[in-house]
Amino acid sequence: MNDEVKRLIRKYALRNAVKFEGECTVGPVMGKVMGESEVCRKDPQGTKQMIEEIVEDVNLMSYEDQVAELKKVLPEYFEEQEVEDTSRLPELEGDNIVMRMAPYPSGPLHIGNARMAVLNDEYVKRNGGKLILVYDDTIGSAQKKPLLDAYDLIKDGLEWLGVEWHEVHYKSERMEIYYEHGEKLLAEGEAYVCECSAEKLRAHREKGEECEHRNRATEDNLKHWKAMLRGAFDEGEAVVRIKTDMQYPNPAFRDRVLFRISKAPHPLVGDKYHVWPLLEFSWAVDDHLLGMTHILRGKDLMIEDEMEKYIWDIFGWKHREFLHYGMLRLKEFKLSKSDFQRKLKKKELQGWDDPRTWSLQSLRKRGIQPEALREFILDFGMSLTDIEVPASKLYAKNREIIDERANRYYFVKDPVKLTLKGELDIDIAEIPRHPDDHKRGNRELKVDKTIYIPKQEYEENLGKEIRLKNLCNIMLSEKSAEITSIDNKDILKIQWVPNGLECTVNMPDGSHEHGLVETTFNEVKEEDIVQFERYGFVRLIDKERNIVAFAHR
Q: Is 181 helix (H, G, I), strand (E, B) or coil?
A: helix
Q: How does the average pLDDT of the chain come out, rounded? A: 92
What's the confidence (pLDDT) of residue 63? 84
Identify the domain boundary among 33, 54, 79: 79
Are residues 125 and 208 located together in one domain of the fold?
A: yes
What's the confidence (pLDDT) of residue 86? 41
Say how many C-beta atoms besides its own lie within 10 A of residue 92's C-beta.
Answer: 22
Convert the pLDDT of each residue in 445-489 to its tens digit: 999 899 999 999 999 999 999 999 999 999 999 989 999 999 999
In a domain, 473, yes or no: yes
In a domain, 381, yes or no: no
Q: Which of 149-163, 334-348, 442-456 has the lowest mean pLDDT?
A: 334-348
Convert the pLDDT of each residue in 499-514 to its tens digit: 999 999 999 999 999 9
Cβ-count burial of 230 within 10 angstroms (0-12 exposed, 13-18 middle, 19+ buried)? Answer: exposed
In a domain, 374, yes or no: no
- Mean per-residue pLDDT, 316-322: 97
What's the confidence (pLDDT) of residue 21? 67
What's the confidence (pLDDT) of residue 48? 86
In a domain, 414, yes or no: yes
Q: Which of 116, 104, 453 is nearest to 282 (CA)?
A: 104
Convert the pLDDT of each residue in 293-315 to its tens digit: 999 999 888 889 999 999 999 99
What's the confidence (pLDDT) of residue 444? 96
CB 265 within 8 A of CB 271: yes
Are residues 96 and 73 located together in one domain of the fold?
A: no
Q: In 346-390, which ranges are continuous DSSP H helix?
A: 360-366, 370-378
**Cα(549)–Cα(553) distance, integer angstroms:** 12
- Mean per-residue pLDDT, 56-63: 90
Q: In 24-167, which ranges are continuous DSSP H helix?
A: 26-36, 38-42, 44-59, 63-73, 76-79, 111-127, 148-161
C-alpha torsion sign, points 488, 489, 492, 497: negative
Torsions phi, psi of 272, nearest 5?
-65, -35
Identify the domain boundary among 79, 108, 141: 79
Show the domain range for 137. 84-329
In a domain, 472, yes or no: yes
Are residues 127 and 62 located together in one domain of the fold?
A: no
H/E element, 220? helix 218-230
Residues 6+ apart with CB under 8 A from 280: 256, 258, 304, 307, 308, 311
Q: Give 431-448 as a DSSP string.
A: EESSTT-GGG-EEEEE--
Task: Give how far Cα 413 sits from Cα of 122, 451, 518, Å.
Answer: 42, 13, 12
Are residues 177 and 317 located together in one domain of the fold?
A: yes
**Cα(159)–Cα(138) distance, integer angstroms:** 24
Q: Dihedral, CA atoms, 163, 168, 171, 176, nearest 10 degrees? A: -160
Convert the pLDDT of each residue in 172-224 to its tens digit: 999 999 999 999 999 999 999 999 998 999 899 999 999 999 999 999 999 99
Flag whether pLDDT at 434 surpasses 90.
yes
Q: Is 151 left (phi over 0), alpha (psi -120 to 50) or beta?
A: alpha
Helices (H) and strands (E) in the chain, counts: 18, 26
Are residues 71 and 90 located together in one domain of the fold?
A: no
Are residues 485 and 504 located together in one domain of the fold?
A: yes
Sheet holding 98-101, edge to edge: 98-101, 130-135, 167-170
Say how many C-beta atoms besides its own lie within 10 A of residue 55's C-beta.
Answer: 25
- Mean per-residue pLDDT, 402-413: 97
Residues 6+ apart with CB under 8 A from 27: 91, 92, 93, 94, 95, 97, 127
Chain Cα centroid distance, residue 480:
50
Are residues 519 and 535 located together in one domain of the fold?
A: yes
CB 127 within 8 A of CB 45: no
Convert the pLDDT of each residue in 117-144 to its tens digit: 999 999 999 999 999 999 999 986 656 7
Q: Is 242 helix (H, G, I), strand (E, B) or coil?
A: strand
- Mean per-residue pLDDT, 148-169: 98
CB 192 within 8 A of CB 186: yes
Convert the pLDDT of each residue in 76-104 to its tens digit: 777 543 333 444 688 898 889 999 999 99
The percent of residues above 70 in pLDDT, for the chain, comes to 97
Flag whether pLDDT at 64 surpasses 90.
no
| CATH number (domain holding residue 486) | 2.40.240.100
In a domain, 401, yes or no: no
**Cα(333)–Cα(414) distance, integer angstroms:** 28
| CATH number (domain holding residue 313) | 3.40.50.620
CB 24 within 8 A of CB 56: no
Q: Which of 26, 35, 37 is nearest to 123 (CA)?
A: 35
Are residues 18 and 111 located together in one domain of the fold?
A: no
Convert the pLDDT of each residue in 531-552 to its tens digit: 999 999 999 999 999 999 999 9
Identify the domain boundary among 44, 79, 114: 79
**Cα(260)–Cα(277) distance, integer angstroms:** 7
Radius of gyration (Cα) for the chain, nearest Å?
A: 31
Chain Cα centroid distance, residue 68:
43
Q: Is 387 helix (H, G, I), strand (E, B) or coil?
A: strand
Convert the pLDDT of each residue in 254-292 to its tens digit: 999 999 999 999 999 999 999 999 999 999 999 999 999
What's the confidence (pLDDT) of residue 81? 37
In a domain, 279, yes or no: yes
CB 111 within 8 A of CB 373: yes
Give the total number of structural domains in the chain.
3
Residues 6+ apart with CB under 8 A from 257: 201, 239, 240, 241, 278
Which residues is 276 bridged to in the sheet?
A: 260
Say how many C-beta atoms besides its own lie within 10 A of residue 74's C-beta.
Answer: 15
C-alpha torsion sign, points 477, 479, 484, 488: positive
Flag whether pLDDT at 418 surpasses 50.
yes
Flag whether pLDDT at 32 surpasses 60.
yes
pLDDT band, residue 26 (cuts 50/70/90): confident
- Mean per-residue pLDDT, 149-159: 98
Flag whether pLDDT at 238 surpasses 90.
yes
Are residues 493 and 423 located together in one domain of the fold?
A: yes
What's the confidence (pLDDT) of residue 127? 94
In a domain, 387, yes or no: no
Model confidence, pTM? 0.82
Are residues 73 and 89 located together in one domain of the fold?
A: no
Are residues 530 and 461 located together in one domain of the fold?
A: yes
Are residues 50 and 148 located together in one domain of the fold?
A: no
E strands in 395-546 = 407-409, 411-413, 415-421, 428-432, 442-446, 450-454, 465-468, 472-477, 480-485, 493-494, 501-506, 512-517, 529-532, 536-542
